Every structure is written in C-alpha cells, then in structure tokens.
C-alpha cells in the first residue's frame, strides 16, 4: 500500500494545471514596436445618479500595464464617494475599432477587487467583506491621438466617472 503523502503529491501534480490562473498573461512579453507599455488614467469628476448629501468629490488615478492581445492589468487609487481612501486592483480587456469609420472609439471592461468602503459605508457596495468586494467596470473611450484619450467608466448603478488617459 502506498503512503498517503505520495497520493497527495500525485493529486497535486495532476490538478495543478487545472487550477493554474494568470490574470496578467504576457506581463513580460514584448509589445509590438511603437506600442506604449503603460497607460495612466486620471479622473477629476464623477457624476452620481442620486443626490446624496454624504457624497464627496471623487478623484481617481490609475496605472495600467498594457499586455498582448489588448489586455491590461492595473491599480487605481481613489477617494470614494464618502471621502475614504480606496483602491481597485484589476485585469481587463479592450476592444478597438468598434464602429466603422470611427477607429478611435473603443470599449473595455475590467474586473478585480475593490477596497475602501468601510465602517458605516460598508453596505454601499455589494459583496463587501472587511472592506474588500468584487468589482466590474465597463468603459467607453475615444483616442485623441496615439498618446491621449478620453474615457467614461460606468460605476454600476452609482455613477459615471469621466477622465483622460495618457500612454507612455
């Protein structure tokens, strides 16, 4: 009879590929010549759908690492609607050339982990456990040129975040 530890080791080797997950594939792969490696997003304004007297101005700054196949990974630091320091760690995908004749228009979606809605505001985002919650953020953008762009991010049923991007 085989010892239990050899069964566990065999099971771990067989199952490892099934559970292997890389949210940022191609992190170290070179990008095509002339393509920017990073994109900075800055938002000076967020429009909330509801008028809550507790809402504060939201300011956000995000850094995306561009990956092959129009994918990206990033981190956003922001002050949430209630004035709390917050963060969003995510991976995403962008779709370019969505509209014939308008190659500057793109759509993207990111998904990740949000942190920052704590204390009395913990129920303001769904799935919040200890300040951490899942998040999905779709966006529509317009490239002004190879470096600069404008973007609107849809923050669920709460708000629209307006910002600009800069690739470098």
pTM of the model: 0.84
CB 13 within 8 A of CB 140: no
Q: Would you tell me how many other CB atoms lie within 10 Å of the CB of residue 26?
A: 15
Q: Which residues pair with 115 in a beta bridge?
A: 87, 132
Record the tokens describing residue 154, joined without a space: 């849809």
3-state secondary structure of 76: strand
For residue 13, pLDDT beyond 80: no
Q: Could you tell me the pLDDT band of residue 39, with boundaries at 50, 70 and 90?
A: very high
d(CA 160, CA 118): 21
Check the CA dihedral 48-61-136-112 and report its sign: negative
Q: Which residues pair with 71 in a beta bridge?
A: 67, 93
pLDDT digits (tens, 9 = 90+) for 77-115: 999 999 999 999 999 999 998 888 899 999 999 999 999
26 vs 86, more confident:
86
d(CA 165, CA 125): 26
pLDDT digits (tens, 9 = 90+) for 107-138: 999 999 999 999 999 999 999 999 999 999 99
For residue 25, pLDDT beyond 90: no
CA–chain centroid gap for 39, Å, is 12
- Give the chain's domains with CATH numbers: 37-167 (2.40.160.20)
8 vs 25, more confident:
25
């Amino acid at each position: 009879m085989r010892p239990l530890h050899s069964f566990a080791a065999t099971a771990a080797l067989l199952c490892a590929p099934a559970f292997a997950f890389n949210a940022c594939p191609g992190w170290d792969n070179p990008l095509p010549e002339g393509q920017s490696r990073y994109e900075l997003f800055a938002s000076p304004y967020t429009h909330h759908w509801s008028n809550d007297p507790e809402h504060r101005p939201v300011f956000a700054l995000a850094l995306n690492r561009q990956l092959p196949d129009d994918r990206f990974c990033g981190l956003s630091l922001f002050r949430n609607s209630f004035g709390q320091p917050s963060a969003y760690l995510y991976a995403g995908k962008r779709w370019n050339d969505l509209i014939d004749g308008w190659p500057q228009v793109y759509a993207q979606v990111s998904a990740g982990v949000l942190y920052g809605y704590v204390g009395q505001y913990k129920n303001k985002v769904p799935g919040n456990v200890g300040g951490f919650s899942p998040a999905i953020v779709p966006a529509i953008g317009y490239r002004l040129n190879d470096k600069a762009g404008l973007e609107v991010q849809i923050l669920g049923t709460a708000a629209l975040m307006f910002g600009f991007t800069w690739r470098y």
